[in-house]
Amino acid sequence: MHPVLKLIAQRVALGILLLLAVSVLIFAGTMMLPGDVAQQILGQSATPQALENLRAELGLNEPPVTRYFNWLGGILTGDLGTALTNGRDIAESISSRLGNTLFLAFWAALISVPLAIFLGLLAVRYKDRWPDKLISAVTLTTISIPEFMIGYILIYFLAIQLGWFPSVALFNESMNLWQKLNAIAIPVIVLTFVVLAHMMRMTRAAILNVMQSAYIETAELKGLRMLTVIRKHAFPNAIAPIVNVVMINLAYLVVGVVVVEVVFAYPGMGQYLVDHVAKRDVPVVQACGLIFAAVYIGLNLIADIVSIVSNPRLRHPK
């Protein structure tokens, strides 16, 4: 087998094993949540017999190992289970919520990724000069502030003082594209601020590392402009680490939006998860946790594959 295909197969197998291990941790973690699901559903006035009957109906009296494999078997067949609090199919409820989260993450990525790469290239072009220092200072400041604080600051200025955007991300399928973008404008700006610094600084560091290579010095001695050297010679050879950090931040945009969705009451996966954690709806928490884990592991797997494919030593072994 070709070395590239062998490494890709190993990464995929490792990703599957990691997801399986995460499923065990998610199931065990939800089992340790305080409180009683049956009590939460029936209320404090429920009789002991009613509680016992509901536990038996929900399978809560079965051994944890049996419950885990029953849950895992359902996941593998596409059955995420039924919400305990409202009896609705979890897959049906999650589908629209996941679509909303991906919509929010897509527009945040569409702005933050090109902007981070551009700022990284600009910082390299003016290394140790005022544009480089200004870009680093601003991006480090934004990443140092919690996202909920950035959200409240932007709500105050952009929504309350200026009235440009709504303070709450009211979102539904009946809206046209422009109305949807207007509703998610502030959450997108918050997410852009949160992930921008990490991607920008990794882009800068990766390109500066390549700039120390001998072929870069040769290109400079040929009289090529610095911007041309960076764009045509340094940047293509720094793609692997840049792709890695971009994928990590894309995973955050999908998995780490819980705080932002709660702040703006956005009907996404994060808000859905928080609502059902409060209700101790274990099947919903397990399903959301596993989906978040699958997205995170999947995007990191894509980053690994891109790094492998972009490595000429692996593509053309001696």
Q: What is the pLDDT of residues 143-181, one digit of tens each?
A: 778 888 888 888 888 888 888 888 877 777 777 888 888
> pLDDT for 258-307, tens place per residue?
788 888 888 888 788 877 777 777 788 888 888 888 888 888 888 788 77
Task: Quick: pLDDT tens for 187-214.
Answer: 888 888 888 887 888 888 877 777 777 6
What average pLDDT is seen over the chain? Answer: 78
For residue 314, pLDDT beyond 70: no
Distance CA 12, CA 137 (A): 39
Per-residue confidence (pLDDT) for residue 17, from 0 to 100: 92
Mention every residue, 6+ apart, whose C-beta is less than 8 A from residue 272. 93, 94, 97, 284, 288
Give me the domains of the chain, ranges plus CATH numbers: 106-280 (1.10.3720.10)
pTM recorded for the entire structure: 0.78
Query: For residue 313, what are its two tokens?
Result: 């030593």
Q: Residue 150: CB partners within 8 Å, gap ≥ 6?
A: 142, 190, 193, 194
- In whole angstroms, give the CA distance from residue 182 to residue 188: 10
- Angle (CA) 198-204-208 rounded to 5° is 145
pLDDT digits (tens, 9 = 90+) for 84-131: 777 777 888 888 788 888 888 888 888 888 888 888 888 877 887 888
Rounded to 10°, the helix 3-31/282-309 angle is: 160
> C-alpha distances in angstroms, 132 versus 138, 219, 282, 306?
10, 23, 48, 29
pLDDT tens-digit series, residues 5-35? 777 888 888 888 998 898 888 888 777 766 6
Tokens of 286: 């397990």
> Greatest CA span in the chain, whole angstroms?
86
